[in-house]
């Protein structure tokens, strides 16, 4: 019989959460919101499920209906609704800000918030370019503020247990990690019309080149280079972060990428992609490769990782994990299901670190390493298929 999650935790002595401490009843956290789209809705749902008392003091978004939508929440009925994010950052009554804007605004908003003495939850990828690494790293480490990167797997109990198994040697040597993510934008996410009169398009563009409003760009900005980085910095970023964490290595030497626009020719970033990354170790047994594949018009199998070891293979996704002993395909020797969305404990960890001033589960270095791997992959794509890390 396969051990269940409870018996597995008892047997290994691992705990489900990094922290269980909550704020006192009279310690209501005062939050600011920057970027109020779909991901922010998920973050606020997680915050509400975390059990930590908070109120939303101010919410900024360039599209007015999104600001109004946040105000419908019980925690935000008295919130200010400025269009300009600088008004959120400048509000001295705010303790922390949640940032879920398009990528090209991430560092600018995060640095401003940190400089104003705010703690920050910053969605991934934390940077839009490799050059922004130094700026964000310095802003965090030269301040006394907490910055939690939106790599929620680092607080997700079964991901934490999987990493403990890998680092404990349960799989033997791991020469290869396979990652994948398939989604279907045409079937599952069709952009809805918006009232352009309620959108400040110039502000949304930020430092990007001026261009006419496009519903496709506004809704699917991740697939246009001025605003996002396609699958490499969106989907792959989550899985490469788990890989870095589990394998205790975060700097690929070389990236190989094959990418094409077979389904969405209107996009700039490839909708179909295969990639490989080399992670050199001090000795051959410490070296490994990471492969990624995905496309955006088929969602069968969704996303996940496979750590291929000489003794066992661990298959991992957001629903759970399974470990298969080498030579035994049909029955996992260990299986664990997920019991809550990892964004909930990740938000709880952020709130706890605001109180304790400890480093969060996903510190800035983790977010930067994941983003940089994705940027290296995109550089390979632009360079004809291969690139090496710059010294």
Residues 195 and 213 in one domain: yes
DSSP state of 276: E
CA angle at 372 for the pair 345 and 297, rounded to the nearest 5°: 75
Number of domains making up the chain:
2
Q: Of all helices (H) and strands (E), which one includes residue 314?
A: strand 312-317
Contact 115, 203 (CB under 8 A): no
Residues 264 and 129 in one domain: no
CATH of the domain at 197: 3.30.360.10
Separation of alpha carbons 245 and 162, rounded Å: 11
The reply to whether 3 falls in a domain is no
Residues 169 and 280 in one domain: yes
Dihedral-angle region of residue 9 (phi above 0 means left; psi in -120 to 50 means alpha; beta otherwise): alpha
CATH of the domain at 123: 3.40.50.720
Residues 175 and 271 in one domain: yes
Residues 111 and 147 in one domain: yes
Of residues 98, 105, 103, 137, the one with CA closest to residue 121:
98
Boundary residue ending a domain (130, 151, 172): 151
Residues 39 and 168 in one domain: no
226: containing domain:
154-338+361-388
pLDDT, one tens digit for every residue, the chain (391 residues): 333 433 333 333 333 323 333 444 458 999 999 999 999 999 999 999 999 999 999 999 999 999 999 999 999 999 999 999 999 999 999 999 999 999 999 999 999 999 999 999 999 999 999 999 999 999 999 999 999 999 999 999 999 999 999 999 999 999 999 999 999 998 887 888 999 999 999 999 999 999 999 999 999 999 999 999 999 999 999 999 999 999 999 999 999 999 999 999 999 999 999 999 999 998 898 999 999 999 999 999 999 999 999 999 999 999 999 999 998 877 899 999 999 999 999 999 999 999 999 999 999 999 999 999 999 999 999 999 888 887 6
Q: Look-up: residue for tokens 């965090």?
A: 140
Phi, psi of 286 (to 5 degrees): -100, 0
Number of Cβ atoms within 10 Å of the Cβ of 66: 22
Q: Report in angstroms the alpha-carbon separations of 166 from 177, 204, 208, 242, 307.
A: 12, 42, 42, 11, 8
Boundary residue ending a domain (132, 151, 170): 151
The reply to whether 315 falls in a domain is yes
The reply to whether 352 falls in a domain is no
Separation of alpha carbons 50 and 9, rounded Å: 22
Separation of alpha carbons 118 and 154, rounded Å: 22
Which residues are paired to 308 by β-bridges? 176, 313
Q: Report in angstroms the alpha-carbon separations of 375 from 207, 217, 238, 254.
A: 19, 20, 13, 12
Separation of alpha carbons 52 and 49, rounded Å: 8
pTM reported for the whole predicted model = 0.92
């Amino acid at each position: 019989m396969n051990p269940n999650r409870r018996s597995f935790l008892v047997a290994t002595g691992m705990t489900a959460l990094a922290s269980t401490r909550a704020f006192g009843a009279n310690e209501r956290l005062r939050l600011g919101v920057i970027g109020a789209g779909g991901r922010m809705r998920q973050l606020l749902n997680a915050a509400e499920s975390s059990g930590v008392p908070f109120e939303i003091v101010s919410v900024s978004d360039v599209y007015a209906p999104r600001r109004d939508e946040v105000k419908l929440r019980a925690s935000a009925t008295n919130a200010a609704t400025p269009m300009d994010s600088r008004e959120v950052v400048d509000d001295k009554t705010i303790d922390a800000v949640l940032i879920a804007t398009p990528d090209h605004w991430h560092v600018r908003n995060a640095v401003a918030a940190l400089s104003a003495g705010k703690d920050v939850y910053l969605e991934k990828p934390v940077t839009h370019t490799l050059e922004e690494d130094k700026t964000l790293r310095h802003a965090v480490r030269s301040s006394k503020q907490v910055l939690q990167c939106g790599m929620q797997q680092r607080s997700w109990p079964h991901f934490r247990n999987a990493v403990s198994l890998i680092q404990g040697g349960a799989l033997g040597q791991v020469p290869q990690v396979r990652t994948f993510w398939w989604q279907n934008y045409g079937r599952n996410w069709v952009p809805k019309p918006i009232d352009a009169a309620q959108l400040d398009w110039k502000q949304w563009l930020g430092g990007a080149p001026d261009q006419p409003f496009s519903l496709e760009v506004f809704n699917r900005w991740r697939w246009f280079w001025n605003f996002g980085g396609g699958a490499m910095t969106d989907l792959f970023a989550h899985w490469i972060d788990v890989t870095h964490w589990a394998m205790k290595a975060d700097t690929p030497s070389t990236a190989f990428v094959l990418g094409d626009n077979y389904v969405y020719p209107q996009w700039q970033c490839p909708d179909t992609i295969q990639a490989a990354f080399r992670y050199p170790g001090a000795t051959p047994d410490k070296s490994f490769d990471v492969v990624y594949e995905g496309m955006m018009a088929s969602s069968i199998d969704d996303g996940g990782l496979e750590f291929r070891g000489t003794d066992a293979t661990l298959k991992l996704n957001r629903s759970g994990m399974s470990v298969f002993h080498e030579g035994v395909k049909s029955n996992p020797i260990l299986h664990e299901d997920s019991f809550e969305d990892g964004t909930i404990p990740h938000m709880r960890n952020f709130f706890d670190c605001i109180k304790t001033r400890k480093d969060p589960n996903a510190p800035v270095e983790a977010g930067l390493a994941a983003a940089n791997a994705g940027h290296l992959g995109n550089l390979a794509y632009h360079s004809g298929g291969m690139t090496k890390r710059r010294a």
